[in-house]
Amino acid sequence: MRTNYETLGSPQFQVLSASQVREVVSAAMEVLERAGTRVYGEDALALLRGAGCVVTEEGVAEGVPVALVHIPSSVVEGALQTTPGRIAVAGRDRSKRLSLERDRFYFGTGSDCPSLVDPYSGEVRKYTFDDVYDAARLSDALPNIDFHMSLGLTSGVLPATYDRPQFLAMVKGTSKPLVITAVDAEGLADQYQMACEVLGGPEAFARAPLFVVYIEPSSPLTHSIEAVGKLLYAAEHGIPAIYTPCIMAGGTGPVTMAGTMVQAVAEFLVGVVLAQHQRRGAGVIMGGVNSPMDMSTSILSYGAPELALVSAAMTDVARGLGVPMFSTAGCSDAKLLDQQAAIEATFSIVVAALSGANLIHDVGYLESGLLGSFDMLVMADEVIGMAKRLLSGVRVTPETLAVEVVERVGPGGHFLAQEHTRRHFREEVWFPGLIDRQMRRAWESGGRQTMGARVRARVRHLLESHTPQPLAEGVEARLQEIVAQAEARHAPRA
């Protein structure tokens, strides 16, 4: 026996102290009191008024009521008290479960990129329904991708209802949990109905939601009728909602990282207040792609070190608030899978994993989110494998300390014939899938393949070989029906 023995089950990583987290949250509350926030929609304004907020500058914009709302800290604190710190979701394969809670991290793709690189012709072109289905199949096949977002924006369908066929392509392509986007509350309602068809009813969805919905306020401090409508529908129906500001630091928010965080937290907290006053206990997940605006080109950078830094710092804030966190990694500003893409993806993946954010998305993004890359997704899967090895840390036990084995082998011997080696090498040592460790001659005789060439070959192999679990009999036809009905409702009048 012994005393005072401490262990670390994983590496430790933190950007902000508890005091600094309180400082950021406090500043966000001050912003909501002093500057206020612009909110659209009658329902939302009624909820906020009822909650005790100060509603001023009321007006109507394009037929929609809008007002400037000042939110007292007490209202925010009250809402946080009923916001869950743990949210469970599960894919249509119900064994594929995620527990979104403090320190547990999962990786997944991003959504809605307009273009892809055709894996055969190399041509940059728009995403079709089939491409969105293929992206889902890739996520389904990759061992380190835990949840799926569409990666591509479905073209060739009615833009007003693109989200319904897109959901069909996603849910058909993977049995993993999903994060969806929706045009508006009606689009979300249709996808919810589709999910209930897939799972066999709303009870199954309630027990473990098939998807989380991604909702974005408009920075700075504005909450559109679409965002608010989706948020309230989600809260009402037990759909966990990511409420995620995407601030361009220096453009749509302060250029200082702390200032951007304050604004992002303030915007998120409005979502918390709305959701909790719609239905107590509604699941709300903090988010953010908060990154500098590149001051040469005006883009929102997806490869900036500040994106990784702020995402990790925001994760510290989420931990302080006791809410799950939606983070960003595995993405790049590069235009193709080149050295820059590898650098930026690896950098952000390692930091995000260390940060312990729950849903780490945008794996596979190139060109600052305009190009959803199959190559990047497959390469990043390998990087995530390496990061997971890092996070599994060093096990320290009498067995792993191996003194007996060292004694048995003695000076000058070798460990390859030890049972200890064979017992542990698979679990202690990460095995590469795409990383090359061949000796030069073997590499040369194998055609001197670069990482990029190996990645492309893997993409093709997976696309040609992977079959997802099929949807249950008759389900696809019923989903098609919902899609067709939505398209009929929104078809432009001839």
**Where on the chain is the footprint of other proteins (CB under 8 A)?**
412-414, 416-417, 419, 421-422, 425-426, 439, 441-442
Give the nearer residue to other proteins in terms of CB position, either 120 or 425: 425
Instruction: State the minimum distance, in angstroms, from the CB of residue 381 to other proteins.
Output: 18
Q: Among residues 419 and 473, whose Cβ is nearest to other proteins?
A: 419
Q: Which is nearer to other proteins, 222 or 421 (CB)?
A: 421
Closest distance to other proteins from the beta carbon of 419 (Å) = 7
Minimum distance, C-beta of residue 190 to other proteins, in the bound complex (Å):
46
Nearest distance from residue 407's CB to other proteins, in Å?
A: 17
Pick the closer one to other proteins by CB: 19 or 445.
Answer: 445
Question: Does the N-terminal peptide bond of residue 84 adopt cis geometry, omega within 30 degrees of 0?
Answer: no
Cα–Cα distance, 173 to 377 (Å, whole number): 15
3-state secondary structure of 365: strand
Per DSSP, the three-state class of 310 is: helix
Minimum gap (Å) between residue 106 Cβ and other proteins: 28
403 vs 416, which CB is nearer to other proteins?
Answer: 416
Angle at 58 between CA 54 and CA 63, to 5 degrees: 140
Question: Given the complex with other proteins, which of 52 and 413 has the nearer CB atom?
Answer: 413
> Which among 393, 482, 462, 484 has a CA at the least distance from the CA of 198?
482
Task: Provide the minimum distance between the beta carbon of 19 and other proteins in the complex, in angstroms, as a whole number.
Answer: 49
**Position 152, amino acid:** G
Closest among 254, 277, 280 to 266, alpha carbons compared: 254
Residues 6+ apart with CB under 8 A from 341: 332, 334, 366, 373, 376, 379
- Strand pairing class (178-180; 211-215): parallel
Least separation, in Å, of the C-beta of 442 and other proteins?
A: 7
CA torsion through residues 212, 335, 345, 384, sign: positive
Nearer to other proteins, 403 or 417 (CB): 417
**Cβ distance to other proteins smaller for residue 255 or 442:** 442
Cβ closer to other proteins: 1 or 417?
417
Q: Are 200 and 162 in contact (CB under 8 A)?
A: no
Question: Smallest distance, Å, CB 408 to other proteins?
Answer: 14
Tell me how far apart the alpha carbons of residues 416 and 406 are, in angstroms, rounded to a whole number: 12
Comparing CB distances to other proteins, the nearer of 259 and 433 is: 433
Rounded CA separation 474/235 (Å): 30
- 333 near 368, Cβ under 8 Å? yes
Residue 106 to residue 95: CA distance in whole angstroms: 15
CB 420 within 8 A of CB 36: no
- Beta pairing partners, 253: 249
Minimum CB separation of residue 413 from other proteins in Å reads 7
- At residue 336's C-alpha, the angle toward residues 330 and 340, to 5°, is 60
User: Smallest distance from the beta carbon of 418 to other proteins, in angstroms?
Assistant: 8
Cα(114)–Cα(372) distance, integer angstroms? 8
Sign of the CA dihedral running 96, 99, 105, 107 = positive
Q: Rank residues 201 and 447 by Cβ distance to other proteins and give the closer one.
A: 447
- Beta carbon of residue 422, minimum distance to other proteins (angstroms, whole number): 4
